[in-house]
């Protein structure tokens, strides 16, 4: 990299002290002197509110509440994880896939890379964190042994069960790596597990199965249980019907929004059950009847917006209608009739005996009176069969509306890079294969609406770099001047030499060295390569990576191969690394 660049921090000094970033000390027995910040953070980076305007780094004013502009602060980072990452320069963890979408009951496999960037062999443990059930990750926790500088890739399974507990929606979680050999150090990579909704429910049997209505109690009540087995809140419609349409139905449910006769609506949370009372009212009751013939009725439940084959369930019960004049009443009437007939017979017999006890006078003709005939007309009310009724109509579900789309505001002073200020890379070229030690490369997204801080955080997260170190390096290289050209021909915000650009830019499909995002993306890929190569040689510290970036990898590798130490580096190279580390430590973490 070119040492003569625009925007360099004035007054840079070499400092001495004890302690160094990384694994406690420089490896390889070099006896190097670590660094400490020689001065305060430059004014442009005091609150880390810097955006690019016409190729220049421009600070943005901050109000008393700490928010940018007048309408409430930073815009959220596009694609930001909802669970925070943690980057460690000794325990290095890479998780290429940051979003998983599954239907409960399905499985997916994720891969992760772990690198031992320290000086000791260690056993690393991977475990899951966040608001998810660890049982959904049957392969975790997972342990693997790594030598210094060694990197391994492992896979683990995500398998949420098809149960209401696997609620539909986004679940923020993270994969964490730590080793007992490095106390207090660990890395964490956040990702989002998006669970799709599925539909299922259970309608229990009617209790009691048979009920009775009468002239004194015109309705009967049964209970039915409804359980939402879906992984989302769902709406259910209930309806009652009988084949001959002899009954009316009412449901007792809270919050019914469909007050229609014979129907009801109820909302249930995932896994929630409700006991619903069903009142059955016969429209006609028999006046006289010897036997109660029960009629069959049905209660149906339908899940709104469910699949056709599993969205409707039916249970059936029976209702018997008691007649006003039943068997006991008929038996009483018959008994009275028989008693009357017997009484009439005895009266006639007494009359005949009295007539036979005669007197001398001529007997008067006897006029016989026929006993009255008592007739009972029994009318059994037996309805005639009617045609098959049309199935109960189904209520129309409310119209579905799409999710509300929230767009970014146009508040003045919003710290964003406008589309005309940062050009997107050209048409993507065919991706070239990476070396085995290089991480997975993802094509850069559009940078419209992204602040410098968001850009450095997003790119550093891909390559397990400290975003503050990457941002400070961009400031030291060019002062955030996207169109800077150094005296030695270095280009862009990260001052990349043309030969280096031609070698590394095609890997990430970058075509414009004066595009801020492309310049930082190529620089981050190049830094990851330098870190891996230096780690193989026993020098994984950040300052050595910065020295190789500034002085060139060939010179740095030759110096280390000849037994050189940190003090053997040129003063301007050591000062470059000191400036970057000092500014990085002064940038706020959030």
Q: How far apart are CA 516 and CA 475, in angstroms?
A: 12
pLDDT of residue 418: 36
This prediction has a pTM of: 0.43
Dihedral of the alpha carbons of 324, 330, 331, 336, in degrees to the nearest 10: 120
Structural tokens at position 474: 């961009």
Asked, for residue 340, whether it belongs to a domain, the answer is no
Flag the least confident range among 238-242, 380-384, 557-561.
380-384
- 515/572 same-domain check: yes
Q: Mean per-residue pLDDT for 196-224?
A: 90
Top mean-pLDDT range of 119-128, 361-370, 377-386: 119-128
Q: Is the pLDDT of residue 570 over 60?
A: yes
For the stretch 480-494, pLDDT in tens is 999 999 988 999 999
For the stretch 495-504, pLDDT in tens is 999 999 999 9
Q: Mean per-residue pLDDT for 91-115?
A: 94
Asked, for residue 568, whether it belongs to a domain, the answer is yes
- 470/543 same-domain check: yes
- 527/457 same-domain check: yes
> Percentage of the chain surpassing pLDDT 70?
66
For the stretch 220-256, pLDDT in tens is 999 999 999 999 998 888 899 888 788 899 888 776 6
Residue 534 DSSP class? H
Residue 355 DSSP class? H
Residue 481 DSSP class? -
Asked, for residue 407, whether it belongs to a domain, the answer is no
Mean pLDDT for the chain?
Answer: 75
What is the domain-level CATH number for residue 266? 2.60.40.10
Q: Mean per-residue pLDDT for 415-443?
A: 35
Q: How far apart are CA 221 and CA 213, in angstroms?
A: 9
Q: How far apart are CA 270 and CA 104, in angstroms?
A: 13
For the stretch 46-93, pLDDT in tens is 444 454 444 455 554 443 333 333 333 333 334 444 678 899 999 999
- 478/566 same-domain check: yes
Domain edge (last residue) among 273, 289, 321: 321
Q: What is the DSSP string of 411-478?
A: -TT-----TTTSPPP-SPPPPPPPPTTSPP--PPPP-TT--HHHHHHHHHHHTT--HHHHHHHHHHHH
Residue scoring higher pLDDT (533 or 432): 533
Q: Is the pLDDT of residue 127 over 80?
A: yes
Q: Hey, how many other C-beta atoms are within 10 angstroms of the C-beta on 557?
A: 16
Domain edge (last residue) among 195, 226, 256: 195
Residue scoring higher pLDDT (399 or 566): 566
Core vs surface per residue 450-487: b (16+ CB within 10 A) or e = bbbbbbbbbbbbbbbbbbbbbbbbbbbbbbbbbbbbbe
pLDDT of residue 88: 93
pLDDT of residue 330: 65
Q: How far apart are CA 162 and CA 575, in angstroms?
A: 58
Asked, for residue 356, whether it belongs to a domain, the answer is no
Residue scoring higher pLDDT (404 or 233): 233
Asked, for residue 537, whether it belongs to a domain, the answer is yes
- Through-space distance between the first and last CA atoms of the chain, rounded to whole angstroms: 29
Q: Mean per-residue pLDDT for 327-332?
A: 67
pLDDT of residue 82: 65
Structural tokens at position 315: 């249970």
Could you tell me the pLDDT band of residue 351, with boundaries at 50, 70 and 90?
confident
- 37/128 same-domain check: no
- 190/209 same-domain check: no
- 42/106 same-domain check: no
Q: How far apart are CA 45 and CA 109, in angstroms?
A: 41
Asked, for residue 329, whether it belongs to a domain, the answer is no
Q: Is the pLDDT of residue 319 over 60?
A: yes
- 154/72 same-domain check: no
- 578/532 same-domain check: yes
Q: Is the pLDDT of residue 580 over 90?
A: yes
Q: Report the relative pairing of strands 234-242 and 295-303 from DSSP bridges.
A: antiparallel
> Percentage of the chain surpassing pLDDT 90?
48
Q: Mean per-residue pLDDT for 352-358?
A: 75
- 458/543 same-domain check: yes
- 18/109 same-domain check: no
pLDDT of residue 158: 96
Asked, for residue 230, whether it belongs to a domain, the answer is yes
pLDDT of residue 549: 96
pLDDT of residue 356: 75
Q: 209 lies in which domain range?
A: 201-321
Segment holding 91, helix H or strand E:
strand 91-94
What is the domain-level CATH number for residue 568? 1.10.530.10
Domain edge (last residue) among 264, 294, 321: 321
Could you tell me the pLDDT band of residue 332, with boundaries at 50, 70 and 90?
confident
Measured CA to CA in angstroms, residue 394 lies from 200, 230, 276, 302, 304 at distances of 19, 21, 19, 9, 10
pLDDT of residue 436: 36
Q: Mean per-residue pLDDT for 466-470?
A: 95
Q: What is the DSSP string of 37-85?
A: --SPPPGGGSS--EEEETTEEEE--B-TTS-BTTTTSPPPPTT--SS--
Note whether 475 and 452 are within 8 A (CB).
Answer: no
For the stretch 251-298, pLDDT in tens is 887 766 556 777 888 899 999 999 999 999 888 878 676 566 788 999
196 Cα distance to chain centroid: 8
Asked, for residue 266, whether it belongs to a domain, the answer is yes
Note whether 267 and 235 are within 8 A (CB).
Answer: yes
Q: Is the pLDDT of residue 215 over 70?
A: yes
Q: Return all residues near 380 (Cβ < 8 A) that are at least 6 apart.
A: 286, 288, 289, 290
- 485/462 same-domain check: yes
Q: Is the pLDDT of residue 470 over 70?
A: yes
For the stretch 497-526, pLDDT in tens is 999 999 999 999 999 999 999 999 999 999
Q: How far apart are CA 579 and CA 446, in angstroms?
A: 30
pLDDT of residue 159: 96
* Domain total in the chain: 3
Residue scoring higher pLDDT (469 or 11): 469
């Amino acid at each position: 990299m070119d040492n003569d660049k625009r925007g360099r921090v004035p007054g840079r000094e070499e400092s001495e002290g004890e302690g160094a970033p990384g694994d406690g000390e420089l490896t390889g027995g070099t006896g190097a002197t670590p660094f400490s910040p020689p001065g305060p953070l430059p004014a442009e980076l005091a609150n880390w509110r810097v955006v690019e305007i016409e190729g220049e780094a421009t600070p943005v004013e901050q109000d008393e509440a700490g928010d940018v502009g007048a309408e409430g602060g930073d815009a959220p980072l596009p694609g930001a994880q909802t669970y925070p990452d943690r980057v460690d320069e000794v325990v290095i963890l890479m998780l290429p896939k940051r979003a998983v979408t599954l239907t409960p009951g399905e499985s997916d496999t994720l891969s992760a890379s772990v690198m031992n960037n320290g000086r000791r062999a260690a056993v690393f443990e991977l475990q899951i964190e966040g608001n998810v059930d660890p049982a959904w990750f049957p392969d975790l926790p997972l342990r693997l042994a790594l030598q210094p500088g060694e990197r391994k890739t492992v896979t683990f399974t995500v398998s949420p069960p098809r149960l209401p507990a696997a609620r539909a929606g986004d679940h923020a979680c993270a994969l964490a790596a730590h080793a007992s050999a490095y106390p207090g150090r660990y890395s964490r990579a956040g990702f989002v597990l998006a669970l799709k909704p599925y539909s299922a429910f259970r309608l229990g049997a009617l209790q009691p199965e048979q009920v009775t209505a009468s002239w004194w109690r015109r309705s009967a009540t049964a209970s039915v249980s409804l359980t939402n087995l879906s992984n989302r809140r769902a709406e259910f419609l209930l309806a009652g019907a009988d084949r001959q349409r002899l009954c009316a139905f009412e449901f007792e449910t809270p919050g019914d929004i469909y007050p229609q006769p014979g129907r009801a609506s109820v909302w249930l949370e995932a896994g929630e059950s409700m006991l619903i009372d069903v009142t059955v009212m016969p429209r006609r009751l028999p006046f006289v009847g010897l036997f109660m013939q029960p009629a069959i009725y049905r209660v149906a439940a339908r899940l709104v917006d469910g699949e056709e084959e599993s969205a409707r369930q039916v249970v059936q019960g029976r209702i018997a209608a008691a007649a006003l004049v039943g068997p006991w009443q008929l038996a009483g009437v018959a008994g009275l009739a028989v008693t009357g007939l017997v009484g009439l017979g005895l009266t006639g017999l007494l009359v005949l005996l009295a007539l036979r006890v005669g007197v001398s006078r001529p007997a008067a003709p006897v006029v016989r009176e026929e006993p009255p005939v008592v007739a009972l007309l029994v009318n059994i009310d037996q309805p005639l069969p009617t045609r098959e009724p049309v199935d109960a109509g189904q209520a129309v579900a409310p119209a579905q509306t799409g999710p509300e789309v929230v767009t970014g505001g146009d508040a003045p002073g919003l710290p964003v890079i406008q589309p005309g200020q940062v050009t997107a890379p050209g048409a993507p070229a065919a991706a070239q294969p990476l070396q085995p030690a290089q991480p997975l490369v993802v094509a850069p997204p559009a940078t419209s609406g992204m602040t410098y801080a968001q850009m450095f955080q997003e790119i550093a997260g891909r390559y397990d770099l400290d975003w503050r170190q990457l941002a400070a390096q961009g400031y030291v290289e060019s002062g955030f001047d996207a169109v800077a050209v150094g005296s030695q021909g270095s280009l862009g915000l990260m001052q990349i030499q043309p030969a280096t650009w031609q070698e590394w830019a095609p890997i990430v499909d970058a075509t414009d060295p004066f595009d801020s995002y492309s310049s930082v993306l190529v620089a981050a890929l190049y830094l990851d390569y330098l870190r891996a190569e230096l780690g193989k040689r026993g020098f994984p510290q950040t300052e050595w990576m910065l020295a190789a970036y500034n002085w060139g990898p060939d010179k740095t590798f030759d110096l280390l191969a000849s037994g050189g130490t940190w003090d053997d580096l040129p003063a301007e190279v050591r000062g470059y690394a000191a400036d970057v580390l000092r500014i990085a430590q002064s940038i706020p973490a959030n």
